[in-house]
Amino acid sequence: MNKFLLYWKKFGMFALLAVLIAAFSLASPDRFFSSTTFFNILKQASVIGVLSCGVTLLLIMGEIDISIGARVAFTTIICGKLLNAGVPVWIVVLVGVAIGALTGALNSFLAQVLRTYVFVVSMAAMYMWTGVCYLINGAVTLYGFPQSFQNISQSMIFGKIPSIILIFTVCAIVSGFILAKTYFGRHIYAIGGNREAAYLAGIDVKKNTLLTHMLAGAFIGLAAIILMSRTMTAQSGTGGSYAFDCITACVLGGVLLGGGHGKMYQAMLGVLVLNVLFNGLTLIGVNDYWQTVIKGLILIMAIGIEALQRHAKVDFSDDGGGDIDKPETAGELQAQAEASA
Amino acid sequence: MSDNILEIKNLTKTYPGVVALDNVNMNIKRGEVHAIVGENGAGKSTLIKSITGAVEPDHGVIRFDGKDYRHLDPKLSAEIGIGVIYQEFNLVPALSVAENIFLGNYSGNGVTVDFKEMNREAAEAMKKIGVRIPPQKTVYELAVGHQQIVEIMRSLVKDIKLLIMDEPTAPLTTKEVEQLMKIINSLREQGITIIYISHRLEEVFQLADRVSVMRDGEYITTMDVAETNMQELIRYMVGRELQGQFPPREKPVGEEVLRVEGLTGNGVRDISFTLHRGEIFGFAGLLGCGRTETMQLLYGAVKKTGGTVFLNGEEVDIKNTSTALQKGLGLIPEDRKRHGLFLPMTIKWNTSIGCIKKKLLKWGVIVDTKKERDLALEYKSKLKTKAPGIEQTVSNLSGGNQQKVVVSKVLATDAEIMIFDEPTRGIDVGAKQEMYNLIRKLVSEGKSVLLVSSEMEEVLGLSDRIAVLCEGRMMGILEREEFDQERILTLASGFTKEKKGA
pLDDT digits 0-9 by tens, A223-266: 999 999 999 999 888 888 899 889 989 988 888 888 888 899 98
Residues A151-169 pLDDT 10s: 888 888 887 888 899 999 9
Predicted local distance difference test score (pLDDT) of residue A322? 32
> What residues form DSSP beta bridges with B197?
B36, B166
B367–A313 CB contact, under 8 Å: no
The answer to whether the CB of B341 falls within 8 A of the CB of B350 is: yes
Instruction: Enumerate the residues of chain B whose CB falls inside 8 A of the CB of residue A319.
Output: 16, 395-399
Torsion, Cα A96 A98 A104 A106, to 10 degrees, reads -120
- What is the per-residue pLDDT across A167-212, written as a single tens digit (0 to 9) for each? 999 999 999 999 998 999 999 999 998 988 999 988 899 999 999 9
In this predicted structure, what is the pLDDT of residue A107? 94
| Bridge partners for B8 per DSSP | B26, B62
Characterize the bridge pairing of strands B256-265 and B268-276: antiparallel
| Whether B28 contacts B51, CB under 8 Å | no
Residue B467: count of CB within 10 angstroms of its CB:
24
- Tell me the torsion sign for CA atoms B428, B429, B434, B436: positive
Domain ranges across chain B: 4-238, 255-328+415-502, 341-414
Give chain A positions within 8 Å (CB) of B335: 329
Q: How many residues does chain B have?
A: 502
**Contact call for B301 and A338, based on CB within 8 A:** no
**Mean pLDDT along residues A271-299:** 86
B57 touches chain A (CB under 8 A): no
Instruction: Count Cβ atoms within 10 A of the Cβ of residue A85 and give its class: 0-12 exposed, 13-18 middle, 19 or more buried.
Output: exposed
Strand partners, B141: none
Considering only the beta carbons, identify the residue of A189, A199, A336 that sits closest to B321: A199
Contact A339 B472 (CB under 8 A): yes
> CB A204 to CB B322 under 8 A?
yes
Residue B40: per-residue pLDDT: 65
> Which residues are CB-neighbours of A177 under 8 A, at least 6 positions away?
none
Euclidean distance between CA atoms A110 and B262, whole angstroms: 35
What is the per-residue pLDDT for A321? Answer: 32
Residue B410 per-residue DSSP state: H
d(CA A156, CA A147): 14
CA distance A88 to B486: 81
Contact criterion met (CB < 8 Å) for A334 and B88: yes
Q: Specify burial of residue B46 (Cβ count, 10 A radius: 0-12, 13-18, 19+).
A: buried
Q: Cα torsion at B290, B294, B296, B297 (round to 10°)?
A: 130
B255-328+415-502 and B4-238 share a CATH fold: yes
Strands (E), B266-360: 268-276, 280-285, 306-311, 314-316, 329-332
Verify whether the Cβ–Cβ distance B293 to A182 is below 8 Å: no
Domain extents for chain A? 2-316
* Residue ranges in B190-307 assigned as alpha helix (H): 201-207, 230-238, 291-299
Residue A264 has a pLDDT of: 92
Instruction: Tell whether B398 lies on the interface with A, counting CB pairs under 8 A.
Output: yes
Considering only the beta carbons, identify the residue of B88, B267, B299 that sits closest to A336.
B267
DSSP bridge pairs for B300: none
**What phi-psi label fits residue B244: left (phi over 0), alpha (psi between -120 and 50 degrees) or beta?**
left
Max mean pLDDT among A314-318, B9-13, B288-292 falls in: B9-13
CA dist A134 and A121 (Å) reads 20
Predicted local distance difference test score (pLDDT) of residue B240: 56
Residue type, B65: D
Instruction: List chain A residues with CB under 8 Å of B321.
Output: 199-203
Give, to the nearest 10 degrees, the angle between helix A288-317 and helix A242-253: 50
Report pLDDT for B78. 83
Tell whether B12 is within 8 A of chain A (Cβ).
no
B363 touches chain A (CB under 8 A): no
CA distance B55 to B73: 8
C-alpha span between B7 and B1 (Å, rounded): 9
Q: B174 and chain A: CB distance < 8 Å anywhere?
A: no
Identify which of B294, B206, B271, B216 has the alpha carbon closest to the alpha carbon of residue B39.
Answer: B216
Q: In chain B, what residues touch A321 (CB-CB under 8 Å)?
A: 15-18, 399, 426
Question: Does B471 contact A339 at a Cβ distance shorter than 8 Å?
Answer: yes
List, for residues B23-75, the tens digit of each pLDDT value: 888 999 988 999 998 876 678 888 888 888 888 888 888 888 888 888 888 88
- Which of B171, B338, B353 minimises the CB distance to A190? B353
| Among B341, B395, B397, beta carbon nearest to A197 | B341
Interface test with B, best of A200, A311, A314 (most B CBs within 10 A): A200
Neighbours of B367 (CB within 10 A): 20
Largest separation between any pair of C-alpha atoms in chain A: 75
> What band does A110 get if pLDDT is binned at 50, 70 and 90?
very high
pLDDT, tens only, A264-278? 998 999 999 888 888
Q: Determine the pLDDT at residue B397.
A: 79
Distance from CA of B50 to the nearest CA of A (A): 13
Per-residue pLDDT tens digits for A7-66: 776 777 788 888 887 777 777 666 656 777 778 888 889 999 999 999 999 999 999 999
- DSSP state letters, B3-27: TEEEEEEEEEEEETTEEEEEEEEEE
* Residue spans of alpha helices (H) in chain A: 2-7, 13-27, 35-60, 68-84, 89-113, 118-137, 147-154, 163-181, 183-193, 195-200, 205-231, 242-253, 264-283, 288-317, 326-340
Which positions 442-471 of B are in contact with A (Cβ < 8 Å)?
471
Residues A89 and A145 sit within 8 Å (Cβ to Cβ)? no
**Rounded distance between C-alpha atoms, residue B426 and residue B18, angstroms:** 8
Would you say residue A123 has pLDDT above 90? yes
Average pLDDT in the B182-197 region?
A: 88
Between CA A71 and CA A68 the distance in angstroms is: 5
Q: How far is B341 from chain A (nearest CA, A)?
A: 6
**Which segment, A50-64, A277-291, B240-254, is predicted with the most confidence on average?**
A50-64
What is the reported pLDDT for B500? 38
Q: What is the pLDDT of residue B41?
A: 65
| CB contacts, 8 Å: A323 with chain B | 15, 426
Of B171, B353, B399, the CB nearest to A201: B353
- From residue A51, give the alpha-carbon distance in Å to each of A68, A150, A218, A259: 8, 19, 9, 18
Q: Is B290 helix (H, G, I), strand (E, B) or coil?
A: coil
Quick one: DSSP state of residue B363? T
Domain B255-328+415-502 in CATH 3.60.40.10? The answer is: no
d(CA A322, CA B432): 12
- Identify which of A128, A23, A17 has the alpha carbon closest to the alpha carbon of residue A69: A128
Q: What value does the mean pLDDT take over residues B288-296?
A: 87
Q: Which CATH superfamily is domain B4-238 in?
A: P-loop containing nucleotide triphosphate hydrolases (3.40.50.300)
Residues in chain A with CB shorter than 8 Å from the CB of B299 are 200
Question: What's residue A179's pLDDT?
Answer: 92
Strand partners, B419: B331, B450
Confidence band for A79, pLDDT divided at 50, 70 and 90:
very high
What phi and psi values does residue B36 have, to the nearest 5 degrees?
-120, 125
**Taking CB atoms and an 8 Å cutoff, what residues of chain B touch A330?**
87-88
B259's enclosing H/E stretch is: strand B256-265
From B18's Cα to the closest Cα of chain A, the distance in A is: 7
What pLDDT score was predicted for residue B109?
Answer: 67
Confidence at residue A314, expressed as pLDDT on a 0 to 100 scale: 41
- Measure the CA–CA gap between A72 and A54, rounded to whole angstroms: 12
Dist CA A21 CA A291 (whole Å): 17
The per-residue pLDDT for range A321-338, each reduced to its tens digit, is 333 333 333 333 444 444
Rounded-to-integer distance, Cα B171 and Cα B125, Å: 24
Q: Which residues of A touch B (CB under 8 A)?
A: 181-184, 186-187, 189-190, 193-194, 196-204, 260-261, 313, 316-325, 327-332, 334-336, 338-340
Predicted pLDDT at A340: 44
Strand B448-452 to B193-197 pairing? unpaired
Nearest CA among B304, B309, B339, B401 for reference residue A333: B339
Predicted confidence band of residue B497 (pLDDT cuts 50, 70, 90): very low
Collapsed DSSP state (helix, strand, coil) of residue B271: strand
CA angle, corner A258, sides to A254 and A264, nearest 5? 35
Distance of CA B245 to the CA centre of its chain: 23
Domain A2-316, what fold? ABC transporter involved in vitamin B12 uptake, BtuC (1.10.3470)
User: Is A261 in Cβ contact with B288 (below 8 Å)?
Assistant: no
Query: Which residue, among B19, B52, B353, B411, would best test binding to A if mutated, counting the most A CBs under 10 Å from its CB?
Result: B353
Non-local (6+) Cβ contacts of B115 within 8 A are B98
CB B258 within 8 A of CB B311: yes
ipTM surpassing 0.90, yes or no?
no
Q: Is the pLDDT of residue B175 over 50?
A: yes
**Helix, strand, or coil here: A299?**
helix
B302: contact with A, CB 8 A cutoff: no
Interchain pair B344, A340: CB under 8 A = no
Chosen from A332, A333, A334 to mutate, greatest number of chain B CBs within 10 A: A332
Query: In this complex, do B353 and A331 lie within 8 Å of one another by their Cβ atoms?
Result: no
Counting one residue from chain A and one from chain B, the pairs whose CB atoms sit within 8 A come to 168
- As a whole number of angstroms, the distance between CA B385 and CA B400 comes to 9
- Residues forming beta bridges with residue B452, ordered by sequence position: B283, B421
Residue B117 near residue B108, CB atoms below 8 Å: yes
Percent of chain B whose predicted confidence (pLDDT) is above 70: 93
Instruction: Please list, in sequence order, all residues whose beta carbon lies within 8 angstroms of the beta carbon of residue B121, skipping any fewer than 6 positions away.
Output: B98, B102, B107, B157
Contacts of A150 (CB under 8 A, 6+ apart): A229, A232
Cα four-point dihedral sign B447, B450, B451, B457? positive
User: pLDDT digit string (tens) for B273-283?
Assistant: 999 998 999 99
- In this prediction, residue B336 carries a pLDDT of 84
| Contacts with A, B 405-444, CB within 8 Å | 409, 413, 425-428
